[in-house]
Structure 1
């Protein structure tokens, strides 16, 4: 159940939106810690190998669920969508890890928010959702922000390059996974979707790990495993936050990771966001926030219009 009226087993003295906000804040913190570890380990462990450890941690955490439910955890009538979603997600993780390793954290993080912009055309083409001119205009405005950040043809430090293209491609692939989830949730439980995603993601990450394999030092092994666990916890916190609170209220809190990663980049990696990065990120945040709030308003109107028929 979603929205402000959702019931929760959390603190009864806190409103659903406040509980959701706390989970979203924890999601932003864990995301920032995860990207810090990705960048810190990036000199010695390529993105494909880090992805293997991230997926292995997800399987380890879900293993008790898999053993308890067994066949039911894999029951599906849409294996094709689940396989495509896992493939897109695995490649998307590899590309995003590469971008976080090679780009300033603030830049890579800002570009990762373009996932919401990609969702607009995908919702119209795949899910057949009606997309009005306001959302189309907001998406186009957001991509202008991307151009401001990467400045194709510019000779500066933040000019477009392979890492920026990798993050944009990653955001597109993640948009496919979100669109696929919208289709799957019509007749699949969250558990089935998570189990397929974790197990297939792990299997699909093995070839890349073999090609880039190196035996990690004990400390590095601990950090790689910790990064994988934190990535899984981050996903769980995000889902929990969005399930408790209104999407329009939760979205601004998710953007706090821009602040966290910028601070970490400055203090740990001596990264200073440029004026073009800040300006472009502001445009992307404004457009994605508008799209999120607009979609929530449309969904609320649809529910209200359907209520008389349900009585």
Structure 2
């Protein structure tokens, strides 16, 4: 294990994903979300294929044991991606990022509901704290005065992010089952392939020909998204998940900086306070998971051969 390398790779992944969202936002006023999803997914494929080939895992990455499972994962992930891409056209980048932190909180809830994982009051309390933070971020956008079109648009953006968080959390729960029989490389490759095909189904709803720099932004979003996926996958090879997971929240720093310098977006105090509450909840859950993991490890070591 090389913890420092794992942390650096995780930070690179987080930075790549925020840059990817910024590139999508640059073209979001003209290019529909479904088309953006296609560029993000299709142009990630060469990066992923090249990575698998370099690792010697290309043949493994193409093997599928449960096509239905991959299609379901693709549908959930594609909807999550599309709704988030639609939301960045309606909301500032820091707000989309802060609201997106609801996803890991929902994973805890769904794990209890669908995987029957035991979730004690400690983690449920953290989830409640995080959801309060989400409500703090949401409140200015859902308090709509009569005839306020801007507020209505922002409220719709909030709903899109939260729906995307639900779909993303369900995808994570589904992946937990998939990794029992499928290779990680296959899950990564076939998600990009599936989402590319699913995105093509949105062509009848109004694709456009990108203008000038939009080609560069859209293609770059796919390439950078692919690099981010590789960095994310590689990070967990060099460090424990409980060590690198908190660095997900560095995305807020990157989102604030890119939002300010590229889009002149200044996050409100309320957004920052809400984000801090959600981040605190996420870190509490991560620390609790690490503690429980250590306890389970000591219990296994203490067992006798007959135990």
Q: What is the TM-score normalised by the length of structure 2?
A: 0.88
Across the aligned residues of Structure 1 and Structure 2, the Cα RMSD in angstroms comes to 2.4
Q: Could you tell which deviates more after superposition, 290-299 or 114-123?
A: 290-299
CA–CA separation in structure 1 for the residues paired with 2:161 and 2:210: 26
Q: Could you tell which deviates more after superposition, 168-177 or 67-76?
A: 67-76
Residue number in structure 2 paired with 1:137: 125
Secondary structure of the 2:201 match is: helix
CA positional deviation for 1:217: 3.2
CA positional deviation for 1:215: 1.9
Residues 310 and 180 (structure 1), Cα distance of their counterparts in 2 relative to 1, 3 Å cut: farther
CA positional deviation for 1:200: 1.3
Residue number in structure 1 paired with 2:78: 90
CA deviations 1:277-297 (Å, max 9, x no partner) are 111111100001111221122
Contact 1:114–1:288 (CA<8 Å) still a contact in 2?
no
Contact 2:45–2:193 (CA<8 Å) still a contact in 1?
yes
Residues 137 and 220 (structure 1), Cα distance of their counterparts in 2 relative to 1, 3 Å cut: same
Is 2:256 the partner of 1:262?
A: yes
2:7 counterpart (18, 21, 35): 21
Residue number in structure 2 paired with 1:213: 207
Residues 60 and 310 (structure 1), Cα distance of their counterparts in 2 relative to 1, 3 Å cut: farther
CA deviations 1:11-68 (Å, max 9, x no partner) are xxxxx22111111221122122112111111111121110011111133334465998
Secondary structure of the 1:161 match is: helix
Is 2:135 the partner of 1:147?
A: yes
Contact 2:60–2:185 (CA<8 Å) still a contact in 1?
no
Unaligned 5+ segments in structure 1 are: 1-5, 7-15
CA–CA separation in structure 2 for the residues paired with 1:72 and 1:251: 25
Contact 1:74–1:195 (CA<8 Å) still a contact in 2?
no
Residue number in structure 2 paired with 1:187: 181
Is 2:233 the partner of 1:244?
A: no
CA positional deviation for 1:201: 1.4
Residues 141 and 113 (structure 1), Cα distance of their counterparts in 2 relative to 1, 3 Å cut: same
CA deviations 1:135-172 (Å, max 9, x no partner) are 11111111111111111652498786111111111111
2:28 counterpart (23, 42, 62): 42
Residues 153 and 97 (structure 1), Cα distance of their counterparts in 2 relative to 1, 3 Å cut: closer
1:51-66 aligned at under 5 Å gives the runs 51-63=37-49, 65=52
Contact 2:24–2:217 (CA<8 Å) still a contact in 1?
no
CA–CA separation in structure 2 for the residues paired with 1:105 and 1:33: 10
CA–CA separation in structure 1 for the residues paired with 2:142 and 2:265: 22
Q: Could you tell which deviates more after superposition, 107-116 or 196-205?
A: 196-205
Secondary structure of the 2:89 match is: helix
CA–CA separation in structure 2 for the residues paired with 1:277 and 1:72: 40
Unaligned 5+ segments in structure 2 are: none
Is 2:170 the partner of 1:176?
A: yes
CA positional deviation for 1:242: 3.2
Residue number in structure 2 paired with 1:107: 95
Q: What is the TM-score normalised by the length of structure 1?
A: 0.87
- Paired positions, count: 296
Residue number in structure 1 paired with 2:160: 166
Contact 1:112–1:168 (CA<8 Å) still a contact in 2?
yes
Contact 2:83–2:160 (CA<8 Å) still a contact in 1?
yes
Residue number in structure 2 paired with 1:275: 269
Is 2:111 the partner of 1:123?
A: yes
CA–CA separation in structure 2 for the residues paired with 1:180 and 1:174: 10
CA–CA separation in structure 1 for the residues paired with 2:160 and 2:303: 47
